Structure 1
Amino acid sequence: MDDSAIEAVSAGTPLTGKALLQKVKELAHLAKRETAKQCGYVKTSSSGGVRTDLSGFYDAVLSAKGVKLDETSRDSRGKVATYKATVHKNGQLLIGSAYTKGMGLKEGDVFTIKLGYKHIHLIQED
């Protein structure tokens, strides 16, 4: 590994690209957590504890190998709106809060339901 890669790890900057792949190959005898630490993939918590950032490490290794990840597919807190709705067994159609929040709707808003051939229109009343 070159001197710039050694300086990056000691400065707390995680390795990326070819330098990361070379370091991973050199540390193949270590456990994956220790390899990630040696490559600079650690995070400090608000309480001062240090933990290994395995997710960031794996993402960086895949990126260095040329595997492109879709950022929207990563886990996130909460659900992402799919813009689909399903009719339940009791015949009701539920529209989730993600859609109503996205439209700026609030409790008590009233709509007129207008049925079309293959669609339903919700027309907000003033």
Structure 2
Amino acid sequence: MLEGDRLLAKLDQLRGFSRSELVRSCGYATRSEDGREHLHFSDFYEAILEAKGVHLPGQPGRGRASRSSQGRQLSFNTHVHFNGNLMVGRAYTEKLQLKPGDQFRIHLHEGGIRLTPLEPCPHQADSRVD
């Protein structure tokens, strides 16, 4: 299922397609054991809203983004750099009280990334980032 900027870019490419074709092309379709196709319109529309920055109340992991001490939102868009690195941002490391040299194991978890400290650091309260 496409999400975020990838979803919006795909929708731009598919202008003029029917709603069903859009849902299917963006990966919001499944097949049951008997071969019937199920189109997940609600999930598709919610993903579009999320990609455009609209957060629906009552949805897990959604709602108001927390802010750093400078008043900046801790939720932001990033991209994979030419060398394959992904920037996290100082606002997150400050919020989690991370210091240079802190080490983590990277886990893929429910379509996201989770960082788990290799050794608990005394200056860290909770270092999980979902």
Q: Is the pair's TM-score, using the shorter chain for normalization, greater than 0.5?
A: no
TM-score by length of structure 2 reads 0.42
- More helix per residue: 1
Which structure has the larger Rg? Answer: 1
TM-score by length of structure 1 reads 0.44
